[in-house]
Amino acid sequence: MTFCCRKIGMMRSTLFLCLCFSGFVCAVLPADDGWVRRRGQYIELVTDLESSQEADRLVASFDAAVTQWVEFWQIDQFDLSSFRVSAFVMRDEGAFRQAGFIPPEVPDFNFGYAMGKKIWIKAQQSEYYTRHLALHEGVHAFMFAAFNGAGATWFQEGTAECLALHRNFGRSIGINVMPLTREEVPYWGRFKRMEQLRNESQVPTLKSVLGYKPNLLGDVGAYSWSWALVAMLDAYPEYRGDLLELAAKGFKRGPGFNRHFMMAFQSEWPILLARWQMMCHDLDYGFEWERERIEIGMNDPLWRGQPLKVQVSADQGWQSAGVRVPGGVKMRLRPSGTVTLANTTRPWVSEPAGITLRYHRGRPMGQLLVCVLPNAPNDAEVYLSEPAVYPLTKEATLEIDSYSWLLFRVNESVGSLSDNQSAFEVNMEVSR
Ligand SMILES: [Zn+2]
């Protein structure tokens, strides 16, 4: 409902400038044919959504998102003046077909479809998810307008998911966010699907994701992993330039695009595989890249057995010992210290064994974990193997098979780290 409408003289009675209760400005097109129509700067919407406020919010959100997509890709020179998407957001798909809004060349689809500057979206059970899908299809239209394509399937869907995932709406919308809670993104469901696939040992290798075929048929898992890969490339400052260059190669299709990607990341490949494996293991609500970037390199010094002290902060994700450990080494690890976990009813002080009153992923909260991450993980299979993670509750001996990084973290959900304090200490020495 609107409380303030001002008629624009030159449009006479056919077009109103509408300042809605939420402060959005959009044009309300004549609706005498029964459809709700709205025109924004970059979107012209036809819908049968019951709520005209939802339609207003969608248009305002879309317009604000487009300028953020331009910023994301750093393409200030891109001429937006001719970029306007015709969007059909549908509750009753049959009615849209009958009205001729869906041409016969549009195939059956599960959630949404984009063709040129036209997009079709099936209205979902939450306003968030309907808007998410409209932005997702809008990104496809945008990528074709800006780059003449969006490359291989993983990149096309991954970028669309990244730039559709949002917080707030209207002019306050922020795109490319990491959801904090399930309530923030109702029916989005990507983390739920990822968790299912983790439990079924069906987390794809990087190679599997690169090989996704064009018709994903609404496979939520495939969308999720595509998003994760693009989000990871965006999150590491050293990959950002390559991500922008990849977008510029969007006119290339499947294998050609992937060849370009693999060449760009050739020297970084083992690091990329290692980061991929750990991110897929941990992605969930509240995941913060500021805490979860894994700082490892192929040039990390080889550990030659000298005693080493590693601090493991309770408010950070996986933290490297800063060395690569050669295969055949047997080492002794001695953990010590206490950390404070403060996200519960009262601060909990934990020793390396953790607090057995609460559990996360089957292990006591606050438990010190160690991960042996090979420098050359196997990327030949379809699915990733589970990372080798062990509890480090007391002095322990660890045998390393092949060149590996050694990572540590405190066991707690990724969204609960911010109020943790202090660090464990781990002493590393050769075991004789
Ligand atoms: Zn898509």
- Rounded to whole angstroms, the Cα distance separating 81 from 116 reads 16
Return the minimum-mean-pLDDT range out of 14-18, 206-210, 266-270. Answer: 14-18
Q: How far is the CA of 157 from the centre of ligand 1 (A)?
A: 5
Task: Tell me the CATH number at 349.
Answer: 2.60.120.430
Rounded to an integer, the average pLDDT of 104-119 is: 94
- Rounded to whole angstroms, the Cα distance separating 107 from 318 reads 44
Q: Is 329 within 8 Å of 430 (Cβ atoms)?
A: yes
Residues 117 and 65 in one domain: yes
Residues 239 and 342 in one domain: no
Residues 181 and 226 in one domain: yes
Q: Is residue 71 part of a domain?
A: yes
Residues 71 and 145 in one domain: yes
Q: How far is the CA of 161 from the centre of ligand 1 (A)?
A: 8
Q: How far is the CA of 52 from the centre of ligand 1 (A)?
A: 26
Q: Is residue 275 part of a domain?
A: no
Residues 83 and 209 in one domain: yes
Q: Which of these three, 225, 247, 264, is where a domain ends?
A: 264
Q: How far is the CA of 218 from the centre of ligand 1 (A)?
A: 8
Q: How far is the CA of 137 from the centre of ligand 1 (A)?
A: 6
Q: Is 323 within 8 Å of 406 (Cβ atoms)?
A: yes
Q: How far is the CA of 223 from the centre of ligand 1 (A)?
A: 8
pLDDT of residue 357: 86
Q: How far is the CA of 158 from the centre of ligand 1 (A)?
A: 8
Residues 54 and 196 in one domain: yes
- Rounded to whole angstroms, the Cα distance separating 57 from 87 reads 14
Q: Is residue 400 part of a domain?
A: yes
pLDDT tens-place string over residues 137-194: 999 999 999 999 999 999 999 999 999 999 999 999 999 999 999 999 999 999 999 9
Beta-carbon contacts of residue 127 (< 8 Å; ≥ 6 apart)? 54, 57
Q: How many domains does the chain have?
A: 2
Single pTM value for the model: 0.91
Residues 232 and 380 in one domain: no
Percent of the chain with pLDDT over 90: 84
Q: How far is the CA of 282 from the centre of ligand 1 (A)?
A: 24
Rounded to an integer, the average pLDDT of 16-36 is: 57
pLDDT of residue 347: 84
Q: Give me the chain's average pLDDT, please.
A: 91
Q: How far is the CA of 173 from the centre of ligand 1 (A)?
A: 20
Residues 295 and 383 in one domain: yes
Q: Which of these three, 248, 264, 280, is where a domain ends?
A: 264
Residues 199 and 313 in one domain: no
Q: Is residue 285 part of a domain?
A: no
With b for 16 or more beta-carbon neighbours within 10 A and e for fewer, the 252-289 pattern comes to bebeebbebbeebbeebebbbbbbbbbbbbbbbbbbbe
Residues 55 and 170 in one domain: yes
Residues 234 and 354 in one domain: no
Q: Is residue 282 part of a domain?
A: no
* pLDDT higher than threshold 50 for residue 393: yes
The structure tokens listed for 66 are 């487009």
Nearby residues for ligand 1 (ion, Cβ within 5 Å): 157, 160
Q: Is 25 within 8 Å of 18 (Cβ atoms)?
A: yes
* pLDDT higher than threshold 80 for residue 37: yes
Q: How far is the CA of 427 from the centre of ligand 1 (A)?
A: 48
pLDDT tens-place string over residues 50-75: 999 999 999 999 999 999 999 999 99
Task: Tell me the CATH number at 250.
Answer: 1.10.390
pLDDT tens-place string over residues 254-289: 899 999 999 999 999 999 999 999 999 999 999 999
Residues 37 and 157 in one domain: yes
Domain that holds residue 414: 290-430
